[in-house]
A and B are shown apart, each in its own frame.
Chain A
Amino acid sequence: MSAAAAATGASPVRDAVEWRLAAPLGLTYVVFFAAPFLILLGISFYADAEQTRLGFDSWVKFYTDAFYLKVIFDTLKLGVFAVVATTILAYPLALVFRASSSRMQRVLIFIILMPLLTSVVIRTFAWIVILAREGVINQTLMGLGLTATPLNLLQTELGLVLALTQIEMPLMLLPLLAIMNQLDQNLIDASRALGASKWRTFFRVILPLTLPGWIAGATLVFASATTAFISQSVIGGARLVYLPALIWQQSMVVYNWPFAAVASLTLLFTVLTGIMALSWLGRFARTT
């Protein structure tokens, strides 16, 4: 009796989470994230660039101007395109990866991870070489006689999506490959034996059961594509304006900090909206 009582008596103590372990990181968050966030929120409620008057003027100006609304929309669209493009490329590769021998899998993982060993800046500039008027793609197309005049790829959404797809690919692939590799082969075989074609098996069994991996990947790709300041500015140039560039311009060039704060918070909400939409999707992916 006493042993049991002692055990139950001791269990709350043992089960208690040691919150102090989280203190260093928690403090860092408070100082470098929560506090700046609150300051940012405060600044956004100044009505003028000189921060003399309080008011909703910056918010109203941002959300009533068609130009800025289009910037929000374009940023969202860029994230969606990056997710769609990486998805279309990643799923077939993940299926190939699954079917490969473990030696081949190691080689594939190395190839997939290789881009991560190079800085984003270098990869972005490499894409300029590829996309430029006299770049690799145009040289090839003209060499093959498929086009007479060079295509405009730099400073276009298409070029930017192309580059981002390659740059963000590992973020989509890694979670997807992990979950794809764990999928029980017997489930796929069972589906086939029951009469399902390969496509049906993919959409009814493989896709739903790997959705959690895709959601993780899609969240990462969406968040980094919408905030990819370097790639957006270097490849998109001045012609394509996205929220990160707008923030930089307003804060560092125009010095309109309230307006930059509004843009910053908008970017934050844009990313959050995408992530929430994805995790809402995840609720349907009950895989067990």
Chain B
Amino acid sequence: MASQQTATVQAAQPLTLDGVTHSYGTGFAVDNVTLEVKGGELVALLGPSGCGKTTLLRIVAGFISQTNGKVIIGDRSIDELPPNRREIGIVFQNYALFPHMTVAENIAYGLAARGESRAVQADRVAEMLATVRMEGFADRKPRQLSGGQQQRVALARALAIRPRILLLDEPFAALDKNLRLDMQIEIKRLQRQFSLTAIMVTHDQDEAMSIADRIAVMSHGKIEQLGSPVEIYDEPATLFVNNFIGSSNLLKGRVEAIGPEGYRVALESGAVWKLTSKGRFEAGAPVLVSVRPEQMVLADEAAPDRLPVALKLSLPIGGALIHDATAAGGEAMKIAMPRRPGALSTGPGTAFAALAPHARPSLFPAASS
């Protein structure tokens, strides 16, 4: 395909944010963010509403100028460049297609602004329409397109200028679930094909997990943790990241002893577990143990490393059986176990929860009481 040959010639450039800080007047919307996105890498900014994701994106695009810090593409600071000179492609949450222009005019807009000839514009428009598989729609107006089609046009328009960086602000928020998956694959494909350095904003953790190379979890304008999806999920650095990504059971406990292969933690609800952690804890320190639901199993007999739980309800969800339980210490727990075919939900009762063989719970310091 011709489009793929022409598309991959440009080497991807890294994007570096160096101590970027922004204040709208009161407090910091973005607080000392340092982040290096490697050439050709897709980093997802993940965080709750209002944590500064959009603000960070708008700073990179040049729509607002940061109070402090530097934005660097390749090895050049772009802080002095106005948005129209930054060569950054951006896809907005509401797509922001020009409603008075046809699909073809929308895609050609950036090329016309660069003074490209009509012939070049027409070629590129045809190429981009083919890339996003929208060949038959050149003469439609945006309002005559479905949400997914508008999304594709928005992507085509952003990619037509051969940007150095691609920014996506919640690109899938307005799409329904099936279309969302299609478009995620599509964006991943295009990002690879054009070897683009990309930042995608989302507050959907599954989305971030599935298409990002790395995830930056943000909270209150700061990056709490930056890492691969697996790292973020398996080794959350802070309690905030732990709670924000996936679901987990938080059990209160106390460090009983520190041995060569980890900590011995006595849970308030009865069991004693041997755990490893990258964090440092003193003997006797109060801790919170976080276990993912799928890293626990239920047994019928008591043992020192099992904690008694009262089962309230069990729900079959697809291939798993989710048990809703309460530990002796009062903590609400969820335990997910593979469901044997034919097995139905079980009623209330008492059981003993233990760590699954592969489990790697995380330890966090608890506020001492």
Contact = CB atoms under 8 A, between A and B. Distances in A.
B1 interface: no
Interface in A188-212: 189-197, 200, 204-205, 208-209
B96 A190 contact: yes
A288 B109 contact: no
Interface in A11-32: none
Contacts of A196: 84, 109-110, 113
B83 interface: yes
B110 A186 contact: no
Interface string A136-169: 0000000000000000000000000000000000
A214 to B, nearest CB: 14
Count chain B CB atoms within 10 A of each CB in A187, A190, A286, A288 and give the residue with the most.
A190
A193 B161 CA distance: 10
B99 A189 contact: no
B100 A209 contact: yes
A197 to B, nearest CB: 6
Contacts of A192: 62-63, 82-84
B99 A287 contact: yes
Contacts of B141: 288
Contact of B61 (A184, A189, A195, A205): A189
A204 B109 CA distance: 9
B160 to A, nearest CB: 8
Interface in B76-127: 82-90, 92, 94, 96, 98-100, 109-110, 113-114
Contacts of B89: 193
A194 B96 contact: no
Interface in A204-258: 204-205, 208-209
Given A209-B100, A288-B99, A195 B113 contact: yes
Interface secondary structure of A, over-half rule: helix
B94 A189 contact: no
Contacts of A186: 92, 94, 96
Contacts of B133: none
B157 interface: yes
Q: How large is the interface on B (under 10, 10 to 19, 20 to 34, 35 or more residues)?
A: 20 to 34
B100 A195 contact: no
Contacts of B88: 193
Nearest to B108: A194
B99 A209 contact: yes
B100 A189 contact: no
A174 B51 CA distance: 37
A33 to B, nearest CB: 37
B114 A195 contact: yes
Given A184-B94, A189-B83, A194 B99 contact: no
A190 B113 contact: no
B161 A189 contact: no
B99 A193 contact: no
Given A184-B96, A189-B61, A195 B143 contact: no
B110 A195 contact: yes
A200 B100 contact: no
Given A194-B161, A196-B84, A197-B84, A189 B113 contact: no
B96 A189 contact: yes
Contacts of A204: 98, 109
Contacts of A200: 113
A195 B100 CA distance: 18
A288 B100 CA distance: 6
Contact of A193 (B61, B94, B100, B143): B61
Interface in B256-302: none
Contact of A191 (B61, B62, B100, B109): B109
Contacts of A194: 84, 109-110, 113, 157-158, 161
Given A197-B84, A205-B98, 17 more contacts: A184-B96, A186-B96, A189-B58, A190-B98, A192-B82, A193-B83, A193-B86, A193-B158, A194-B113, A194-B158, A195-B84, A197-B113, A204-B98, A208-B100, A209-B99, A287-B100, A288-B141
15 contacts: A186-B94, A189-B58, A189-B83, A190-B90, A190-B92, A191-B109, A192-B63, A193-B90, A193-B158, A194-B110, A195-B114, A195-B161, A197-B113, A209-B99, A288-B141
Interface of A: 184, 186-187, 189-197, 200, 204-205, 208-209, 285-288
The 6 closest A-B pairs by CB, nearest first: A194-B110, A186-B96, A192-B83, A195-B113, A196-B113, A190-B96
